Structure 1
Amino acid sequence: MPRAARRSATLTALVLLLLATLPAPATAAVPSAASAGRGPGAADGPSRSGELVTEDVVFEGGDRTMGGTVIAPAGGGTGLPAIVLVAGAGEGLPREVYRPQAEAFARAGIVTLIYDKRGPDDGYSMFEASIADLADDAIAGVHLLEERPEVDPDRVGVHGHSEGGWTVVEAADRSPAVDFVIAANSSALTPERTQVWMNRMQLRHAGVSEPLRTRLGETLTRHIVAADMFRLHGHDPRPALERLDRPFLGVAAALDWSTPPGETLRIYADALARGGDPRSTLRVIDGVGHSMEPSDDGYVEAEGDPAASFRDLSPEYVRTVTEWVHGLSGTAAAGRGDPPPEQEEESESLAPLAAYESSGVQIAAFAVLMAAFGGSLLVGAYSRLRDRPRLRPGRRTAAALGLVGLAVPPLTIGYLGMIMINAGTTPGPVVAGHPLPWLALQLATLGAAAGALTLVVRCHRARASLDTPAKVRLGALLAGTAVLLPWAAYWGLFTV
């Protein structure tokens, strides 16, 4: 075997070995409702802990029974304001994630409800959700708090964090029972546009080069949206915001890289200027990230465990929310509006798929790749079993090319899916602006192109000795390579 062919085969094997040994994307561990001792069936009596009273509750919301916890000041009394805390993104997110935030509000004299979020069994998953269902859950929480003796039924509002911001605006639009609305580190853009912006910002922080950020952070999302599999895609909160006639507090973290804070506050201000309540307020909290915890650059939180969020809340954030809520009880001053924080990049709308990008074309290309490269390996195995003449000039190159062609497409889509699921927070080590897993896929694709060219030259020279299986195998490899190269270029495997 010539030295060049041996080097090509060795490089290909090393690349595939590297890809095979990469760890799977970690899923953040959050305590389940059951492990936290707060199952939906629990409805224990109130328990006191210092300055707080905690009571587990069960209530009906829309199409499901929910478990929740009410946290209130221990001093008793009546006429207290109340808040339903609505969670951000996450399947079946347990109420305990938001307990630190609820306790901070309760210490400031606000009765607070936290509850377990919907999961896959309730119509909320990675690929589907209903904003109406989520809003109905929040409205059910409002009704629960209205009935409590310590609560002023005319001062019960909703507080949504991140994805929960879309939910609370929708809840107010659907029910007059919601007396005020708080959206913290939420987005006024559509979910898919918000997701792509977050992907780009996280990849930028990781050191990924500009051309690759678009390829890695946007292309697969566009396909998921086109297939109607992107959770809540197309939801636009602006119409409901423009109809909102109750007090609204929009709070943005200056260092939020999960939702675009500058654009969001500008949209909030424009919507409220069309006729919102005069007590509506827009505030910016400096020096904090997406979870309203102090941060030097806003990125540290994205690398942590969601279950640990909100344990070190910014005092300025807690004070902003609680003072605004208490201020609604009297003759409130006119709302205030902080200038929107600067964004390193503006978001962009997602372009619809062109004809050549359609799911039909992509599925067909993927099928051809699997059939061509998989078929070449099967023909090679058949020849060996029958002890027939094989593709002698370059049989190892042919085997390596078949393996690479069979592995690169699913690994490419799998890696892009990991980027989308983790919002670009874990791209892997970055070398010269390229994540190492992606660089390995790029090198494997270039090796496939070089191997195909080498195979053509060597087989042309020995064409007289090729039997029918060898010709079939060679044809399959060349057909697969002819599809692989433009396919790889589209997905960004040639982007530098």
Structure 2
Amino acid sequence: MLPIGVALAALTLALAPAVPARSPDAPGVAEVALSVPTSDGLTLAATLYVPEQAASGRPGLVLVHGAGPGPREKYRAEAVAFARAGIATLAYDKRTAGYSLMQRSYKQLADDAAAAAAVLRGRPEVAPSAVGIWGFSEGGWVAPLAASRAPETAFVVVVGANAVAPLRQQTWADVAKMHHAGVEGSLVDASTRTFYRMISGLGMFPEPYHDPAPPMRALTVPLLGVWGAKDRLTPPVESVAGFRAALDAGGNRHYTLRTFADAEHSVRTTATGFDKGTDFAPGYIELVTSWVVAVAAGAAPPSSVAGTGDQPSPTTEVPPLAWYESAWVQMGMLVVMLAGFGGFWLVTGWRAVRRRGSAAPRSAKLLAGAGLIAMLGGLSYLGFVQATRGRTFDPGPMLAGRPVSWLMLQAVAVVAVLATLVLGVHYWRDRRDGVLLLPLTAGVLFVPWAVYWGLLLP
């Protein structure tokens, strides 16, 4: 009988409702361990934050992550603050299956958010008709999409959301980092716009051209949008304007768009937009909680826009690669250049060992050496910029707004071009040594390649 008794006890525990437990470091807030079943069979761990001794019929709010993997504890500060104001707040772990740096689906993430909202609506503390979705950053693309796919959603809150496509937003953000570091010139465009277009062309930038406007136009429920005036990851001025235009086009008459001064992407205090304080901008938590409570009570405020963003530069369109820019064309050029420059050294080395053939002209040696250095060094440096850019970028020593390392590579590239011209003249006059075609062909291809990647631009 013992195994039967153990099984019955386990079944009883599994079916028992989750009970709030007092949060040890958040007085006045209780936590409930829950789980969210997704449409594709995953189970996402979740935590519900509610006021201690919470009464039934409270408004509910589901928190949707920004970009990147992360546990639900990442948004604990927001969840605790909202719960203290009387809002039952659910935070769940972001999925890892089907989500990575190079793979994601906003529709799938929206379905996860809708599933979390369904769990929240089933809780006794919550009024089922008063559950909304809060989305931060990337979640600002997901939350409106989730609401448009789940008509039970009562309202939407977005923070640091984008009204432009992800590829356009990412390019703008990285340009802002480079300019903040004092970098100007061709390196900025090569390491942002050109680099990301290539990454997208390789299929390594997920959802590059997601259009946020259709889900926003489909929203008929109240929406609260919040931005930091000094947001350097999301263009605050264009995002507010884009949300306003899309919501107006859809006939939404209950949106509130607010921009907080001296606040960064996550609406924490900031001096420059690149530093991040520990405190939320004054009034942010109060705005969210009072707005949610009012909407849940059926008193959604009329549409309004307040605050001014500080956006140093406009975003620019990032079109897909043309055929002549494609990854296959780029790869072919790299292979030919590597074979030409490297093959020249192999042949001349073999000749030196066998003591056969005449010595190669200096221009050929200079071209083969400078071409290899500029090609491999340029790609390595662009990779270094991507790997170290992070929230800010340290370019090291600079001259006239250009990192010295980049200027040195540009100088080597110029040497390669001059050597190509000299070798071309030499070969035109004396075509007896066909080996010279190796670096000469590579040098001819190097010129447009180096222009494309900024090595031959100011």
TM range (shorter): 0.7 to 0.9
TM-score (norm 2): 0.86
Distance 1:410 1:74, change over 3 A: farther
Give 3-state SS (helix, strand or coil) of 1:289's partner. Answer: coil
TM-score (norm 1): 0.79
1:249, distance to aligned residue in structure 2 (A):
0.5
Q: 1:490 aligns with which of 429, 452, 455?
A: 452
Q: 1:370 aligns with which of 338, 354, 370?
A: 338
Confirm or deny: 8 A CA contact 1:80 1:110 kept in the other structure: yes
1:221, distance to aligned residue in structure 2 (A):
1.8
The residue number in structure 1 matching 2:375 is: 409
Residues 238-266 of structure 1: per-residue CA shift (max 9 Å, x gap): 11111101110111111011111111111
Confirm or deny: 8 A CA contact 2:143 2:156 kept in the other structure: yes
Q: CA RMSD in A?
A: 2.9
Q: Distance in 2 between matches of 1:174 and 1:417?
A: 39
Q: 1:173 aligns with which of 148, 151, 175?
A: 148
Q: Distance in 2 between matches of 1:338 and 1:409?
A: 50
Q: What is the identity, as a one-letter code, of the residue corresponding to 2:39?
A: G
1:134, distance to aligned residue in structure 2 (A):
0.7
Distance 1:388 1:47, change over 3 A: farther
Q: 1:235 aligns with which of 207, 210, 213?
A: 210
The residue number in structure 1 matching 2:194 is: 219
1:294, distance to aligned residue in structure 2 (A):
0.7
Q: How does 1:127-276 map to 2 (within 5 A)?
A: 127-209=102-184, 212-276=187-251
Confirm or deny: 8 A CA contact 2:133 2:143 kept in the other structure: yes
- Structure 1's unaligned 5+ residue stretches are 1-42, 302-309
Does residue 55 of structure 1 match 2:40?
no
Residues 154-183 of structure 1: per-residue CA shift (max 9 Å, x gap): 111111111110000100010113211111
The residue number in structure 1 matching 2:327 is: 359
Task: Give structure 1 regions of 4+ aligned residues with deviation exceeding 6 angstroms.
Answer: 454-461
Q: How does 1:319-334 map to 2 (within 5 A)?
A: 319-330=286-297, 331-334=299-302
The residue number in structure 2 matching 1:346 is: 314
Share of identical aligned residues, percent?
A: 36
Confirm or deny: 8 A CA contact 1:204 1:210 kept in the other structure: no
Confirm or deny: 8 A CA contact 1:393 1:459 kept in the other structure: no
Does residue 336 of structure 1 match 2:304?
yes
- Structure 2's unaligned 5+ residue stretches are 1-17
Residues 312-337 of structure 1: per-residue CA shift (max 9 Å, x gap): 22232111211111111333432422
Confirm or deny: 8 A CA contact 1:139 1:177 kept in the other structure: no
Give 3-state SS (helix, strand or coil) of 2:283's partner. Answer: helix
1:48, distance to aligned residue in structure 2 (A):
2.7
1:361, distance to aligned residue in structure 2 (A):
2.6
Q: What is the identity, as a one-letter code, of the residue corresponding to 2:111?
A: D
Distance 1:218 1:80, change over 3 A: same
Q: What is the identity, as a one-letter code, of the residue corresponding to 1:447?
A: V
Q: Distance in 2 between matches of 1:393 and 1:275?
A: 70
Give 3-state SS (helix, strand or coil) of 1:328's partner. Answer: helix
Distance 1:100 1:275, change over 3 A: same
1:402, distance to aligned residue in structure 2 (A):
3.4
Q: What is the identity, as a one-letter code, of the residue corresponding to 1:444?
A: V
Confirm or deny: 8 A CA contact 2:420 2:444 kept in the other structure: no
1:218, distance to aligned residue in structure 2 (A):
0.7
Residues 113-165 of structure 1: per-residue CA shift (max 9 Å, x gap): 2222233xx12222221111110111111111111221222111111111110
Does residue 102 of structure 1 match 2:61?
no
Does residue 479 of structure 1 match 2:441?
yes
The residue number in structure 2 matching 1:34 is: none
Q: Distance in 2 between matches of 1:400 and 1:148?
A: 74
Number of residue pairs matched by the alignment = 435
Q: Distance in 2 between matches of 1:492 and 1:148?
A: 57
Q: What is the identity, as a one-letter code, of the residue corresponding to 1:476?
A: L
